[in-house]
Chain A
Amino acid sequence: MNTTLKVLLSVFFVILCGSPIWYHTMTVHQTKLPTNKLLNLSSSANPKISIQIKLLFDEQILKTQNKDPFLSKVKKEVTKLSKEFQQEFLTFQINTQAIKLKKDYNNMNDPKKITKFLEESLSFHKEKENQKEKEKENNTEMFEPKYTLVLLNIPNLSEGIYLPPTGRLIWINLGESTNEDNLLNNLRNFFPIFGCITNTTKFTTQTDDLHLSFILLNQDPRGRVLNWEFEEAFNYYLQPTLEKLNKRFSEITFDSEMIAYADLEHFRVHKSNEANRNNEKGVHYSISKKTLRRVIQIGEWSSSVATNKPVLRFILFVPGQKFTPLFINKNSGKNRDAFIVPGIGGISIHNLNKSETQLLNKNDLRRSFLVFANQMRLFLGIKNLEKFNYYDPSNVIHDIELDMLILDTLIKNLNEAKHSLVSLHTLIEELPYMEIPEEIGTHIQNAINEIQFSESNMKKKNYKSAYFSSKRAIEDCNRAFFNPSISSQLYFEMQNRFAIYIPIFLPMLAPLITKLFKQISSF
């Protein structure tokens, strides 16, 4: 064997031995994931949530009917109705019963008194106390979607569905007409409450924890330095709702601030002599609704608050003397004085009357705070339904709405968690060269455990624990999905690696290979 051949063979020997070492250095570490569990979870359906509705009829309504056949007929019809509204995760169990209410309530016309009367008559207050005792014993808050629907006929009160602020007792006033059609119509109007949550107006779908920032924005403080009794107004109008939300749903914090000097550059302000919203004649100013649509960010109207949560701003805008009174001009209909900017918050315009002093007290702030309360409902995703009487404006969120919010969020969290786990699994499968550190494996395992825990709690009807487990599951999924180690990697397939090395080594190897062939052929 001549020297040339020896050299060539040694070169190729080195390449042969070095290639596995090179290939080994190219492999990436991927931690083992519980793929089977993951796939089983994703394919399994969420346990259904059963909502129990007890339908109570006042015997007076049934005077003209045969009691038992009527009740069973109504039950059948209502069950049919409920199936129309049944969603993937909700099922209804309906029971009907006739009751005799002791007092003559027909002459009442105050919804609050009627609610109180019903609670006493049906021993609801006793149930509430029993529930509180049970909660103290178990050291947890019970949450059972059981609702009592009472049908009454009160001629002095408007027809419709009345939602009391607290408790799971709802009553429907059939008015003067107690026939079957009217009854079924009213029941048909009732069921949409179980679908009252929507994502269209929700402030953010990423998280339920929010920070509320209340701002008093005095456009031109010259001559009138404003102050507001924020604490009193907040404690009266919004504090009970926030307490309810913090206890059962999410962590919501708040702050307040007073800012002066703001410009109206974003909005085109028109001067008008037409009658204003109170039908008073005189000069007033208006912003067209079209201009509002173009507002993307408020800029200097925002507060300076540092928080990790999304900030939802409620701005009480007091226009300067130059632009008072200021309204939002709807194309047809009344002038308005409040609007929302998606992603930022809600604004309410407060035109100072001449009689108002520079201190806005609780009563002066009533209208604006109720507007904020309604805007908060929109941002939480709660719809205002037709035929429902929200007769207590100080109560922002009713118990049944909060129940639906929790259940809707629970199901959404579970679906999202499963979906993101499956996406992550698919991504890992498609990119075998993506490094998966141990940390991600731990988060995925935790997410799976939380989802399983949540589902088992749903089967036991412990929806509160199920909800908080689902929240933790989402957090773990996000930590896995948005782990910094994934985003910093460049994913090279093997073909790409060859494409990097070939331009270097091929020109080097080409003459060696041709020389080798020549040597071999010369033999």
Chain B
Amino acid sequence: MYHLKYGEIGRYSPPGGELIATFETKEDLESKFRTVSRKISGIFGTSQKFSDLTISAQPFYTEFNSLESTSQRTHYSSLPREPVCTENLTPWLKLLPCRSKAGLASLLNPIKLYDLFYHSMSVEVTRSQENSLSFHQQLLLVVELKEFKFSQIFGTPLIGPICPFSSQTKIQIEGFSDYSSFTPTPEEIGNNQVGFILKENLNNKKDFNLHYSPKENTNNNGYNHNNIGNGNSNNGNDNNNNFNNNGINDENISKNQSIKLNRFLKESGKIRGGVITQITNLEKNDLHLTLYDSLPWFMRVYFHTLTIKSNFENKEIEITDLNLEREQDNESNLFANQASLLRIQTSQDHGRPSIFELALVLKPGETFQISVDYLKGFLNFEEHPFDGNRGFDIAPAIVSMHGKKQNLKKRIYYTDSLLLMLPTPDFTMPYNVMTITTTAFLIWYGSFLNNLTGRAGLKLKKKSKAKWIIKPDKF
């Protein structure tokens, strides 16, 4: 739910790694996806090659890109446990024509980068209807801003050169109420944003610094709290370019957000549990959403327990089973009812995950709580990872906003990922078995050997003070 925490400034990625591949034809999608995932794994140094059929699936009703009718040809996988680090950044930078030698990419110092609140990097390759390829790389970072100096933010000063391959290198700033307080003067001033265009004749010696000097009349530091969470508006005049991030202010955040998502596990022991997803409409209009949830095969989902509750109504909302062919439907059919079940896929052990897709219509201010129960599977000894007691990461659900009527851009939101504790076998059992059997064997053998090898001898037994009786004895 990073859009709630940090504002809707880009497309956030789910935790870990994600691969979305759309192919030209529907045939043989699985083997094509496997080939793609292995190549991506090789290029970016990730574990995407483990995106096999037990994890990956096709979301039929989630449109990841702007092209229509691609969902039947789209394959998706998520690896929530994937760590993102320097070994992924280096090949990502290598795709840039100047790599990390010039331009804004020269700011990317891995030590500082992976110490930030949030970071995500993505590569998007799309083919337009005119058959031209576009290649888009995005790096999204959430930084604690104390001073507007690149050396403070990134640990590296921006001293040039600018990458000559780029048509424009621009620093764009949004979310301030008073842009005239910036020095140097921005080249572009727009609605709620300014742009500084960096030119090739950058001064090579000094860091490119932006200074912010708010005027005396302002009560705050000029920062518009509407976007990025800075809850306290009474920081007072601050002429030293210091910005205080005082945490999240729900009221201010929700002003510009469309939905609020929450997802958690309803645990009840080591046998069964439940997944609950809460979606709140923060808009003033009805929202048409589709929810895609993929749960791994060891969460044996009971689909008959799928229920939706609304905070507006006391009873459960009826889920209409649409059971439509994808080619036949259109958006109006999908959202004809308040809640429609678009698709269910049952899981197969070691085969495929459980999937359900819902179409939801939320009124303004309404919260839907979607819950489903599951039975926990018991994995083999070898199937547990090395840190078996940590739990299994469950990929987030995807909420896709369909907004033709409201003229909203189609947006994709991810819920939080979950950490599921499965019943674990006793990993010390092999040691225990060896210890017990060898101990038992040795006890038996020891006493056996003792009996066999003991010598027949004379034992002196005192019967009375007067007499001594010599009696042979075995031991």
| Residues of chain A having any CB pair with chain B under 8 Å | 4, 7-8, 221-225, 258-261, 300, 304, 306-307, 508, 511-512, 515
> Mind listing 11 A-B residue pairs with CB under 8 Å?
A221-B98, A221-B165, A222-B200, A225-B164, A260-B101, A261-B101, A261-B102, A306-B42, A307-B39, A511-B452, A511-B453
Chain B residues with Cβ below 8 Å from A512 are 449, 452
Type the 1/0 row for B34-50, where 1 means its CB is closer than 8 Å to any CB of A: 00000110110000000
CB distance from B166 to the nearest CB of A (A): 10
Determine the residue in chain A with the shortest Cβ distance to B453. A511
CB distance from A225 to the nearest CB of B (A): 4
Contact in complex: B42, A260 (CB < 8 Å): no
Asked, given contacts A221-B164, A306-B43, whether A7 binds B452 with beta carbons under 8 Å apart, the answer is yes
Chain A residues with Cβ below 8 Å from B97 are 258-260
Contact in complex: B163, A260 (CB < 8 Å): yes
State in angstroms the CA–CA spacing of A95 and B117 once bound together: 83
CB distance from B4 to the nearest CB of A (A): 36
State in angstroms the CA–CA spacing of A222 and B161 once bound together: 8
B448 at the interface (CB under 8 A from A): yes
State in angstroms the CA–CA spacing of A505 and B408 once bound together: 79
Determine the residue in chain B with the shortest Cβ distance to A263. B101
Contact partner of B102 (CB less than 8 A), chosen from A259, A260, A508, is A260
State in angstroms the CA–CA spacing of A224 and B40 once bound together: 32
B114 at the interface (CB under 8 A from A): no
State in angstroms the CA–CA spacing of A508 and B449 once bound together: 9
B99 at the interface (CB under 8 A from A): yes
Asked, given contacts A222-B200, A304-B43, whether A260 binds B452 with beta carbons under 8 Å apart, the answer is no
State in angstroms the CA–CA spacing of A508 and B441 once bound together: 12
State in angstroms the CA–CA spacing of A300 and B200 once bound together: 24
Known A221-B102, A259-B99, A261-B98; further 14 A-B contacts with Cβ < 8 A: A7-B448, A7-B451, A222-B200, A225-B165, A258-B97, A260-B97, A260-B99, A304-B91, A304-B95, A306-B43, A508-B445, A511-B449, A512-B449, A515-B453
Contact in complex: A4, B91 (CB < 8 Å): no
Asked, given contacts A222-B200, A304-B91, A306-B39, whether A260 binds B165 with beta carbons under 8 Å apart, the answer is yes
Contact partner of A222 (CB less than 8 A), chosen from B40, B164, B445, is B164
CB distance from A164 to the nearest CB of B (A): 39
Chain A residues with Cβ below 8 Å from B164 are 221-225, 260
CB distance from A335 to the nearest CB of B (A): 29
Chain A residues with Cβ below 8 Å from B91 are 304
State in angstroms the CA–CA spacing of A306 and B95 once bound together: 12
B270 at the interface (CB under 8 A from A): no
Asked, given contacts A260-B102, A304-B91, whether A4 binds B165 with beta carbons under 8 Å apart, the answer is no
State in angstroms the CA–CA spacing of A46 and B98 once bound together: 54
Contact in complex: A261, B452 (CB < 8 Å): no
Chain B residues with Cβ below 8 Å from A508 are 445, 449
CB distance from B332 to the nearest CB of A (A): 43
Chain B residues with Cβ below 8 Å from A8 are 452
State in angstroms the CA–CA spacing of A1 and B43 once bound together: 78
State in angstroms the CA–CA spacing of A306 and B39 once bound together: 6
B255 at the interface (CB under 8 A from A): no
Chain A residues with Cβ below 8 Å from B99 are 259-261, 300
CB distance from A310 to the nearest CB of B (A): 14
CB distance from B152 to the nearest CB of A (A): 26
State in angstroms the CA–CA spacing of A300 and B96 once bound together: 13
CB distance from A217 to the nearest CB of B (A): 11
B146 at the interface (CB under 8 A from A): no
State in angstroms the CA–CA spacing of A504 and B371 once bound together: 59
Determine the residue in chain A with the shortest Cβ distance to B160. A222
State in angstroms the CA–CA spacing of A512 and B450 once bound together: 11
Contact residues of B between 181 and 210, Cβ < 8 Å to A: 200
Chain B residues with Cβ below 8 Å from A223 are 164
Chain B residues with Cβ below 8 Å from A300 are 99
Chain B residues with Cβ below 8 Å from A221 are 98, 102, 163-165
State in angstroms the CA–CA spacing of A508 and B453 once bound together: 12
B112 at the interface (CB under 8 A from A): no
Chain B residues with Cβ below 8 Å from A304 are 43, 91, 94-95
State in angstroms the CA–CA spacing of A4 and B450 once bound together: 11
CB distance from B450 to the nearest CB of A (A): 10
CB distance from A411 to the nearest CB of B (A): 33
State in angstroms the CA–CA spacing of A261 and B101 once bound together: 7
Determine the residue in chain A with the shortest Cβ distance to B93. A304
Determine the residue in chain B with the shortest Cβ distance to A4. B452
CB distance from B215 to the nearest CB of A (A): 39
